[in-house]
Amino acid sequence: MSQPSSPCVATSKGPRRPARSQIPGSTSRESPPASVAAEVPAPPDVPAPAQVPAPAHVAAPVVPPGAGLAPVPGGVIRQRSLGPFELENGSTLPELTIAYRHDGPAWPAPQVLVVHALTGSSDAAGDWWAPLIGPGRALDTARVGVLCANLLGGCYGTTGPTSIDPGTGDPYGARFPSVTVRDQARAQLALLDALGVGHLAAVVGGSLGGMVALEVALERPGFTATAIPIAAPAATGAMALAWNHLQLELIDRLGDGGLELARQLAMTTYRSETDFGTRFGRHLRPDGRFEVTGYLEHQGRKLLDRFDAETYRTLVRAMDSHDVGRGRGGTEAAFRSFAAAGTEVLGVGIEGDILYGPEQVREVVRIATSAGCKARYREIRSTKGHDAFLVEWDQLDVILGEALAVLS
């Protein structure tokens, strides 16, 4: 996905990391918010929130090559202040601000909440899921509203480590409190309440977004008709915890240089052996180094251009917290609330995913079914590994289209 990089956006007057020089022909796994044309009206009787300005150097949304779809017109990133927000750890953020984008009709039309992955933004419709959102697409904005919000702890307009701490007047930085996936889900629900949304037709997300999607549905049984976790488990497993530990150790010991290396390590879990072998093999660059090393270094630099080390730490630790059974009597007991409320689960696994593999998603569906919930499993066939939920547009179009066909 060719897209200029952009530094994190603070929610008020906080500093931004200066952008480094851009690398021609770069491809991005998850891009920052893009500049778009027209503002989406707020729901009736809800005051219009502030618009988040996009960095001046960010181009209009670009659909990945080969997608065969034009960018979705309209829509801007906006901010909503929600007041104090209590976290699971007992601390309270004095002010929670969330950046979001909404496309399509407002409530009471059916609404779909899309949740981004680790370093994503609220600009799903104009950027990282653009081929799936818009009139006539899987998430058809001619008939459903599509909302995507930057996660709590993020740095693209939502309160996080780059935000100003009202108590000091400086960015929170390392003082930002730890947050959980459940906190992030509750923040999304608070935004939905503020926007007057009374029910979700579906909540969908990949990776961290899939974890949050499950928690959104579980935190308020009956509020969501269908939960669609893609490449996301019921609880973060030991191998993913180990990879996350190594990434955080790199950041702790090396600062920004550690963030670059953490991203390089993460990229090896986002792709597959087949993908790396096909794309790079043992090919050498003109300087004599292997092509795959250049690719990883490039991905590390790109993240450093647009992200923040403390934000990365916050979001990775949130992923570590993920366990839908925690405090609910176990995973099966948690899914019994779905059964009682009539919430359905569509678990989507990815062939060759080594981070949150298809067996982990099948286990979500198996346990949900055992709990009496209507649950189905679908699998994306791909050589791209975990990142297939950001690449395999045709398969995602069919899966999401089928999930929402009942709304026709």
Catalytic residues: 207, 353, 386
- Please name every residue paired with 61 in a beta bridge, in sequence order, or none if there are none: none
Q: How far apart are CA 115 and CA 148, in angstroms?
A: 6
Sheet holding 97-103, edge to edge: 50-51, 78-81, 97-103, 145-149, 111-115, 200-206, 224-230, 344-350, 375-380
For every residue of 150-200, DSSP letters joined together read PPTT-SBSSSSTTSB-TTTSSB-GGGSPP--HHHHHHHHHHHHHHTT---E
Residues 6+ apart with CB under 8 A from 69: 63, 130, 131, 134, 137, 393
191 contacts 102 by C-beta, under 8 angstroms? no
Instruction: Say whether the peptide bond before residue 110 is cis (omega within 30 degrees of 0).
Output: no
**Enclosing H/E stretch for 367:** helix 358-370
Q: Which of 402, 215, 191, 172 is nearest to 327 (CA)?
A: 215
| Burial class, 143, CB count within 10 angstroms (exposed 0-12 / middle 13-18 / buried 19+) | middle
